[in-house]
Amino acid sequence: MHHFAYRRGVSQANVLHAEEVDLSDLAAAVGTPFYCYSTATLERHYRVFVEAFAGIPDTLVCYSVKANSSLGVLATLGRAGAGMDVVSEGELRRALAVDVPPAKIVFSGVGKTRAEMAFALDRGIFAFNVESEPELRALSEVADARGAVARIAFRVNPDVDAKTHHKIATGKAENKFGVPFAEAPSLYGLAKELPGIEATGVHMHIGSQITDLSPFRNAFALLHELVGTLRAEGATIGFVNLGGGLGIPYRSDQPEPPRPADYARLVAEEVGDLGVRLLFEPGRMIAGNAGILVSRVLYVKHGASKTFTIVDAAMNDLMRPTLYEAYHEILPVTAPEPGTRTIVTDVAGPVCETGDYLALSRPLPELRAGDLISVMTAGAYGAVLASEYNSRLLVPEVLVAGDRYSVMRPRPSYDDMLAKERLPNWL
């Protein structure tokens, strides 16, 4: 469910709108390519996720900032009540900049530096998700030196196959994430001895874009067992963080993935009796369908064996098709006239790489130079992964709310791009 739909525009044609904003008008005002996010969709997804857990007494939903860290997106979710899951001082500073209470922030990641730990401790975040023994010792030292105690959850690796793309599976033993399940009890024992640590939580995150609930069920059952073991050994476990990972629909021609309510039922069944505070770290589920990438067709090129629709957005603006073989639906911004031919085409950008494409062999209504397209479900892991590769300007981000819009990150100028660098003094 999202708020991008065709409506009659001023020209009477059916034009794709973001809420009440005509995307062809927006393209004329902002230029292309640009990302566009819907406030109504962000708020709705957050609400649906929270409400799915209404039957569970103590929950905290920490939006995973890495999915989309635009300040306007964070502020929208923060005002709706979301906590945040951050993985760097930069993300933490973003969350704090939009007044998310530190008590609603958790800090994940396998490579936190001591400086990042100190910064987070001084701000008083809720908890650290600790991923190794050396990290635990470093955190204890940093906390102790400041007269503080770090509340932590060990991120445990259950060695479960999340049945997702191999680059976004995190819960197998061969992945760098978390501490081995079997070593968890002795690590909680060690944590008790360390002066700067209070280990009262357990964390797990097995992967992303998970569309089959069975890996969650297997992992949560293991976690339930682990909490029993830890308690039997004298640990006090007051919170459990189940991570993120719930998949979203990218294609309208495929079965819908499980809904938050299905996931919530499973959570209640597997860990509902633990008597703990439950935390979640959804990213994609909140932001994915709340964003699109709008681009303009530059040329239609007829190759020897294929047609290439060359657009002004490229792999540097949206990496997902190249990086994860991801499928993103593509819609023409102006709905095609009845009787328009469907052709099969690659949709590719101007970057000088064969891997630069947004879609391969895609049936689409025939497009012409100057037409606008919308790449759907680009709100999560879209703009955050963008770069200036090929010295292309970083793509702007626009937030819509009803009939209003704001260019939250304007397109830089070429002077801005060059001004970020310094020549060595010997050149």
Q: How far apart are CA 323 and CA 19, in angstroms?
A: 30
* E strand intervals along 9-125: 14-18, 21-22, 34-38, 59-64, 83-86, 105-107
Kindly report the backbone phi and psi dihedral angles of residue 401, in degrees, each rounded to the nearest multiple of 5, phi listed first. -140, 105
Catalytic annotation present for 352? yes
Q: Does 209 bind ligand LLP (CB under 6 A)?
A: yes
Concatenating the DSSP letter of every residue in 259-273 gives PHHHHHHHHHHHHTT
Q: Does 324 bind ligand LLP (CB under 6 A)?
A: yes
Residue nearest to ligand LLP (CB): 244
Residue from 151, 205, 296, 392 binding ligand LLP (CB under 6 A) = 205
Angle at 80 between CA 76 and CA 83, to 5 degrees: 90
Site for ligand LLP in 251-310 (CB under 6 A): 281-285
Q: How far apart are CA 156 and CA 61, in angstroms?
A: 19
Using CA atoms, how far residue 351 sits from 168, 302, 312, 322, in Å, is: 25, 18, 9, 12
34 or 63: CB nearest ligand LLP: 63
Q: In whole angstroms, how close is the CB of 323 to ligand LLP at the nearest point? A: 7
Stretch that binds ligand LLP, among 69-77, 96-104, 204-212, 302-310 (CB under 6 A): 204-212
Within 8 A by CB and 6+ apart from 389, the residues are: 315, 316, 351
Q: How many Cβ atoms are within 10 Å of 58's Cβ, its own excluded?
A: 12
Of the residues 54, 304, 352, 427, which is catalytic? 352
Q: In whole angstroms, how close is the CB of 61 to ligand LLP at the nearest point? A: 11
44 or 296: CB nearest ligand LLP: 44
Among 28, 31, 95, 94, residue whose Cα is nearest residue 62: 95
Q: How many Cβ atoms are within 10 Å of 170's Cβ, its own excluded?
A: 21
Spell out, one character per residue from 330 to 359, where the chain touches ligand LLP: x when CB under 6 A holds, - when not: ------------------------------
30 or 52: CB nearest ligand LLP: 52
Q: Does 9 bind ligand LLP (CB under 6 A)?
A: no
Q: Does 94 bind ligand LLP (CB under 6 A)?
A: no
* Catalytic residue numbers, as ranges: 352
Residues binding ligand LLP (CB under 6 A): 64, 66-67, 85, 108, 168, 205, 208-209, 243-245, 281-285, 320, 324, 380-381
